[in-house]
Structure 1
Amino acid sequence: MYSAITTSLENAILLITINRPDKLNALNKTVFDELNTAIDDVYNNPAIRSVIITGAGQKAFVAGADISEFQGLKHHEGMDLAKKGQYIFRKIEEAPKPVVAAVNGFALGGGCELAMACHFRIASENARFGQPEVNLGLIPGYGGTQRLTQLIGKGRAIELLITGNMLDAATALQYGLVNYVVPQEELLAKARSILELVNTKAPLAVGRCIKAANAVFDHTKDGFTEEVNLFGECFATHDMVEGTTAFLEKRKPDFQGK
């Protein structure tokens, strides 16, 4: 089905692997198209409860965009490319199921932007993050200027953007860009352990937590109003009845995502 990514579903966790290790998993048109299709499946397939995105091999998560596809592009074509990347990454950010980036190695340029579009990040000890687009006469185009600033603050973000420097995993953890740093051989296991716990929670409530948190950065919404609305919506779900009943009956809830 796919040529540039692979997918596998185990224990309701979908593992999406960017699979171009000879190109350090660089993002090209095929990767974008296949990633878009895979994320559509995340939205529509009830068998999927959560997602891990990672890169093939031990060197790179995604080392950037495939720069060969940039040559010869005009102004409007560059804008179209950025719009496409932002559309797909926003779809990841707004997914109603948690999407975790398991960053194994380099996450540079579009790779850093992909990682930041995920709901949180876990890094291997050899992970490196950066937005080196200024070295190419460019800026990040897939949401990097916005999400980096949201995640680590304006001063640190601008310094990284205008120097093109990389952050090592320990600094990324200190800055709050990643939640955990683990040995590479433990990376996927760490991501799975968190998502296996999440998968025991009420799926509709998990999705609404993500939606409410995203509203903090959506200037078209009042986050507190959004929270009130989403809180109220929970009361119309079977899972809320089951969760509160199970609590009072001192038993484990059986959530159905309804």
Structure 2
Amino acid sequence: MDHAAVLALFDRDMREGARPDAPGARVERAGKVVRQTGAEHGWNGVVWSDLDETTADAAIADQIRHFTGLRREFEWKLYGHDKPEDLGSRLRAAGFTAEPEETVMVAELGDLALDAEPPEGVRLLPVTDRAGVDLVAEVHEQAFGTDGTRLRHQLLAQLTGEADTVVAVVALAGDVPVSAARMELLPGTRFAGLWGGGTVEAWRGRGIYRALVAHRARVAADRGYRYVQVDASGQSRPVLARLGFQPLTTTTPYVYAL
């Protein structure tokens, strides 16, 4: 994989040319920043910027005014190659809090082994309705220890309003949800985004996450996408590397709370 070329394509397709990720969201360019203003329970934040030492502080202040004026908590997704180099320090000085850094990992679908299946006794169930969404949110809360309310609202809105842009799947052991994940498929891009892959603690280490990645990648390949992309935690990075994913850059969410 040509790292520099794929990184430039990723920035152009998924960041500077970002599309709304849910019904009711709006993506717009404000000066040298691209931001999404979401619905009440949607994602709000900055996805791309082209700043330097002379423009960064004013751009940060503009985004704070915009989102706080709407009473929205928001996130500035800072990537490892973004400029200026001290942008993270400037965000912290402006009141943002950094969450754990993740690795952006990318694979070309033609290079991936897509034959991984879940272990015996576990089946994959496509999510198409509110009951399935509730199962995904339940897994999310158990796997990550965080509230699944926003995920529940966003995924249900996507399935209801733009079902062709999202694929969600839950792994069931019998009737018990033990793992879940989703994929966003935005028209006009070459990257399918893999999101939210999580397994409850007692079921980790059995190949379920690997099977969920392979399942979603097969769907992306069938729909004509060239690449799949993951914001990977330290826990999932080794699994993805064994599947054929390569690190592209890093990303750190900087959150501005109300």
Q: TM-score range by the shorter chain?
A: under 0.3
More helix by share: 1
Structure with the bigger RCO (C-alpha within 8 Å, sep 6+) is: 2
TM-score, length basis structure 2: 0.25
TM-score, normalising length: structure 1? 0.25
